[in-house]
Structure 1
Amino acid sequence: MKKLVIAERSLLVGHIISMVFGLAGLLIVLPNAQFIASLSEFGQLVFRWSMAGGGASYMVLATAAVAIYAYRLFGLRRCLTFMVPAVFLSLGSELLGTSTGFPFGHYRYLSGLGYKIAGLVPFTIPLSWFYLGFSAYLLVRVGLESRGVATRWSLISAIALGSLLLTSWDFVLDPAMSQTSVPFWIWEQPGGFFGMPYQNFAGWFGTGVVFMTVATLLWPKTPLNLSREQLIFPLVVYVSNLIFATVMSVGSGFWIPALLGWVVGVIPAIAFFTIAKSRSDVLAENLQESVLQSRSQQSPTFPAGLVK
């Protein structure tokens, strides 16, 4: 288990470092042609490699980190019953979107995010739906369950609010990534939200609702019973990706999308983390439950005819 924790944290650190280097390349190096020209032959080789694979590497690292985290806390079955629907249902939405314009609007991916499935969707895109979607869902569900929200409503809210937190990431990321000096996708159907159609956000929210609903139906309905300390990992994943998107967005002059992402995404995510129970509270509840179960198993039973 200790090795898994080390691997999980190392991958998360690598993910964050990759995002930092990506930001430096996109916002500092690329606009400075003289700096690129002054690099040595090896430096230019590294720069070309980073431009070709850097966008894919940070999403692969995050996916691996979140998958290990999910496996470590919940086991292989729960990990896969969230990951598989998230990856394949989001891939279906992306393939449909790039082919027909539904549900996001008409757009197409350019280079920089890895091999394209069917020549349309980079393989890293459905991976990002998984790792951000899982982190958002977990923060909401555990936060609500910690406050004693009834199981039915905590599950429904985890799907709805988790999808909203996921969509908030796109509020911030999409304008910059599609309109930076080296865009990663372009909109062939410009819209009213800083060049994007509002339909895009409905598509994001709807896709999140679909795969989170499927995962919720496949998971046990009992509370997850995680502590606030155990939620630090998904919070770091979520907030670090919003910070990356914010720097990209603000660096490209999109202040309103960045602000919207923080109001609708980051602040609620931190709030759900804050209201989760502490480790000591979770341990105390588990101990109390174990004692009650032990007493119920040890209580004597009598034949029905001997009990008045």
Structure 2
Amino acid sequence: MKTSAWSFTVLHGLALCLGLFGLLVAIPHPELWAGQPAAMAFFAFALGKTGGTGMVLGAIAMLAYGGWALGWRRTLIFFAAATIISATAELTGTKTGWPFGGYEYTEFLGAKLLGRVPFAIPLSWFYMAFASFVLADAIVTARGGTNRTLWSIVLGTWLLTAWDLVLDPSMAAPQMQYIHFWVWHEHGPYFGMPLRNLAGWFGTGLLFIAVGRLAWNERTTPLPPVAIPFAVYAINVVWSMILSISAGMWPTAIAALLLSLAPAALALRARTPRAFA
């Protein structure tokens, strides 16, 4: 199971890299594939299939990791809480503008739930939140003290929300002339994004991380290895950073580095239990 988790983590990273290639090379430079059927087919795949596929692979990677490191019961409980609650929030958001603000998904991420939210989106909430929680739990445990579960939930929510500091601006940047993953129907002060989107992220993440963890009904849990969740987390943050930098939004990349990656990396200092070595 450990090998499967690592394999899907690598495939997840490759899919995101291929999608990044499509966004930054294939679309802006159509002359590279004009008149070449093989190149055209490759670029079309990179553009049209890797976005949603990358999210599916990320979810499979974290499911495999969770099954190996924390057990299937805990993992599937967290998966159910994350996907159901996030899908509900996204469906509500695309219908009413609450809690994230007024926005609408484009067709780039594939088939949609009720025609509004791509099926892959709740999966991305799951794998990034699960990775964030595991990393947070390692950090909190290493520091010692009381209320481990509470602080792990809060810090995990912060790591998830900090990712959005670079994710949302990069995925819907007006500077990205060629494609947007979603579009905003209202303007906000944070690179065009309304600030209530961050509040919505924190609230949604806090709700399903708390439900997913507390439903385990355990006071303490094992401290699993963190290399795989850190790899998944870092891949996604760096991917968004590259996209933001390409759009000229350096401040969001710096914010992600300082408020997202740097805190998450503290988890790597936690001792790995021998049972999982």
- TM-score of the superposition, structure 2-length normalised? 0.94
**Where does structure 1 lack aligned partners over 5 or more consecutive residues?**
284-308
Instruction: Give the equivalent residue in structure 1 for 2:262.
Output: 267
- Measured in 2, the distance between the counterparts of 1:69 and 1:77 equals 13
Whether 1:177 aligns to 2:171 is yes
Counterpart of 1:287? none
- Tell which structure's C-alpha radius of gyration is larger: 1
Alpha-carbon distance in structure 2 between the residues aligned to 1:102 and 1:12: 33
What amino acid sits opposite 2:103 in the alignment? Answer: Y
Q: 1:63 aligns with which of 59, 63, 84?
A: 59
Whole-angstrom distance in 2 between the partners of 1:262 and 1:224: 29
CA distance in 1, matches of 2:151, 2:18: 36
Q: CA shift at 1:279, angstroms? A: 3.8
Higher helix share: 1
- Matching residue's letter, 1:22: G
SS at match of 2:104: strand
What residue in structure 1 maps to residue 84 of structure 2?
88
- Counterparts of 1:17-96 in structure 2 under 5 Å? 17-38=14-35, 40-96=36-92
Map residues 59-208 of structure 1 onto 2, 5 A cutoff.
Answer: 59-150=55-146, 153-179=147-173, 180=176, 181-208=178-205
Find the aligned partners of 1:226 and 1:154 in 2 and give their Cα distance. 11
Counterpart contact for 1:142–1:224, Cα < 8 Å: no
Letter in 1 for 2:250: W
**Matches of 1:225 and 1:18, distance apart in 2:** 31
Contact 1:116/1:123 (<8 A) preserved? yes
Match of 2:226 in 1: 231
The amino acid across from 1:246 in the alignment is: M
Amino acid at match of 1:262: L
Count of aligned positions = 273
List runs of 5+ in structure 2 lacking aligned partners: none
After alignment, is 172-181 or 97-106 more displaced?
Answer: 172-181
Contact 2:70 2:222 in 1 (8 A): no
Residue of structure 1 aligned with 2:208, choices 203, 207, 211: 211
Question: In structure 2, what is the Cα distance between the partners aligned to 1:259 and 1:223?
Answer: 35
Q: Secondary structure at the match of 1:141?
A: helix
Q: 1:121-157 CA deviation, whole Å, 9 max, x = no partner?
A: 000111000000000011111221233222xx22111
Query: TM-score, with normalisation over the residues of structure 1?
Result: 0.85
